[in-house]
A and B are shown apart, each in its own frame.
Chain A
């Protein structure tokens, strides 16, 4: 700093308008604490979201890698199983068409699983303290900001995968189906982002968080219907895959690819304990996300730090 920070008489430190606003705040603040979805909550959430998008804009490598990676999955993994006889993968006409739904969900899931990392680094660098000493309406704004950001990323990735799948011969679902696919991706992303942020608040440091991400990521992929149908798996794995929330996002999307005339009562897959309809699968996804939010609530809503 230069030593020329001399007081300039013209510049007062006080700001009369701000003073006035503060005074009006004092009266109302104790009587009406702002909650989730108050104007204050929306203001802080938008500002936190904006920060994430500014970071993305100035460091676009995450976005580029986030699009290139699933497309490589689609091409390389698709090629591995290209010559599998038709019919092995249920109704899908080719493996590429089968795989598309799995890659969409897995990509969104992996992005959401990593959502806690930037928050963990903010914590370690002390930036999070800047937020924690501020009168946030609710710390859920940190969660919502991350979820909005990851959701936007996931939708861009999903669009890229849908586009490439179409080129590879998987066909293009109609607009209604595409919208429902978007909603499915967003619901899953919200739940997984919440869990990841909960971990970012609960675990001691980024090493531990990365370890958790590492042991969660691929096992959840292999224990889902992303790469092969349930009928391919041994009984115990069918059981595990039918408990995996990823399957409840993958199977509806896969069904949407094949059935433009879907209904909520349409059976999207056969779990070991019975058939799962479109409506039930969506209900389970929503329940998963709400459950995740409820689970992290005690961590996020602590009054003191």
Chain B
């Protein structure tokens, strides 16, 4: 069976900027695939190439075995694309937008009516269907956009940063809906710079940084590759640096501790990487007790996708994000994205 989406050696340059250097990935039918990376990593450009909005400089792109470059029309019929910024015509009602959407995908009249009613019901938009979209809230707009993207029952649904700018309730609802779609067998490609989003939804993930895929696999696999477990502990609610440092030195001596640092951003808490070990917490507590040190809080966790990103790039996703925001004019870029063709 052909992969739902195949991308091989994708490259795209905009003038001076090499937006995508080398992206390859393969999405199996029915899975949720997450493309994770900081802003500016090349996620949106990759998506735009896949959705026939941008002509790549090099690389192979296929949807269900069909070449995106050679059969763009057929690929468009199979893809549903939900852009990062919801673009609705504020003068149209939700139903009118869906009717337009049905017509540009050439759904026959009777099927279109039936399908529009179905999608309105499914996304609980019935009460809003005949109101102009100009008065919709952000969450409602996203729901209508989802209904529009799914109207023609695409084989692959592509979502670019689906929950950016949504409140927490709306985000949870979008996640829930995507899980429901997943259960019904829809293949989903989602980009995100939110770790939790990809962790919560994706069966498999590719981490992308500066236009290249730096790591891919299931979230669990990626975390296992990084290895170890994390212990975060605080001596006091606000520990002074000297005391934290002496505790760190003390814990570093334990044979099971692979790495120990004092995190000054989090009130001088101590972050440990330890060998997976049932007694890890106990051992740490005992070591501190023997030295007469108090413990304010202690917790143990598996490595996160952020640790995966850190291991691959030497910086945390948050740092990359902040660096990117400092360098870039996001508003201008969003506009350019729409204009680039």
A interface vs B, CB < 8 Å?
1-8, 11-15, 17-19, 21-22, 25-26, 29-30, 33, 40, 43-44, 46-48, 50-51, 54-55, 58-59, 123-137, 204-205, 302-305
Contact = CB atoms under 8 A, between A and B. Distances in A.
B103 A43 contact: yes
Interface of B: 51-55, 69, 71-74, 76-77, 79, 81, 83, 85, 87-89, 91-92, 96, 99-101, 103-108, 110-111, 114-115, 118, 121-124, 132, 137, 139-140, 142-143, 148, 150, 152-153, 166, 169-170, 172-174, 176-177, 180-181, 183-184, 186, 335, 338-339, 341
26 contacts: A1-B140, A1-B142, A1-B173, A5-B176, A5-B177, A6-B176, A11-B118, A13-B122, A13-B181, A18-B115, A43-B103, A54-B96, A55-B91, A123-B339, A124-B338, A126-B83, A126-B338, A130-B148, A131-B104, A132-B52, A133-B51, A135-B104, A135-B105, A137-B106, A304-B55, A305-B341
B111 A18 contact: yes
A14 B184 CA distance: 8
B76 A133 contact: yes
Closest 4 CB pairs of A and B: A1-B139, A47-B103, A126-B87, A1-B170
Contacts of A5: 123-124, 143, 173, 176-177
Nearest to A137: B106
B310 to A, nearest CB: 32
A303 B70 CA distance: 9
A130 B87 contact: yes
A134 B105 CA distance: 6
A133 B149 CA distance: 10
A4 B124 contact: yes
Interface-centre pick from A1, A12, A133 (highest chain B CB count, 10 A): A1
Given A54-B92, A124-B338, 7 more contacts: A2-B139, A2-B169, A7-B180, A18-B111, A128-B338, A134-B101, A135-B73
A13 B76 contact: no
Contacts of B99: 47
Given A3-B169, A126-B83, A129-B338, A305 B118 contact: no
Contacts of A22: 77, 152-153
Nearest to B151: A18
Contacts of B107: 18, 21
A42 B96 CA distance: 18
Contacts of A58: 91, 132
Contacts of A125: 87, 338
Nearest to A204: B339
A204 B335 CA distance: 11
B184 A13 contact: yes
Contact of A304 (B52, B74, B88, B121): B52
Nearest to A141: B104
A129 B106 contact: no
B111 A21 contact: yes
A124 B87 CA distance: 10
A2 B87 contact: no
B34 to A, nearest CB: 20
A303 B71 CA distance: 9
B111 A54 contact: no
A2 B168 CA distance: 10
A2 B173 contact: yes
Given A12-B184, A29-B77, A54 B169 contact: no
Nearest to B93: A54
B91 A43 contact: no
A15 B173 contact: no
Contacts of B114: 15, 17-18
A127 B72 CA distance: 19
A151 B335 CA distance: 31
A55 B143 CA distance: 23
Nearest to A304: B55
Given A2-B169, A40-B106, A123 B338 contact: yes
Given A13-B186, A305-B341, A127 B104 contact: no
Contacts of A131: 104
Contacts of B173: 1-5
Nearest to A12: B184
Contacts of B169: 1-3
Contact of B52 (A6, A12, A133): A133
A74 to B, nearest CB: 31
B202 to A, nearest CB: 19
A1 B74 contact: no
Given A3-B173, A5-B124, A124-B338, A13 B53 contact: no
B124 A13 contact: no
B81 A133 contact: yes
A135 B101 CA distance: 11
A61 to B, nearest CB: 12
A129 B341 CA distance: 10
B340 to A, nearest CB: 8
Given A1-B142, A21-B111, A43 B338 contact: no
Contacts of B111: 15, 17-18, 21
Contacts of B137: 1
A304 B75 CA distance: 11
Contacts of A137: 106
Interface-centre pick from A12, A13, A25, A204 (highest chain B CB count, 10 A): A13
A46 B103 contact: yes
A18 B148 CA distance: 15
Nearest to A1: B139
A203 B89 CA distance: 22
Contacts of A59: 91
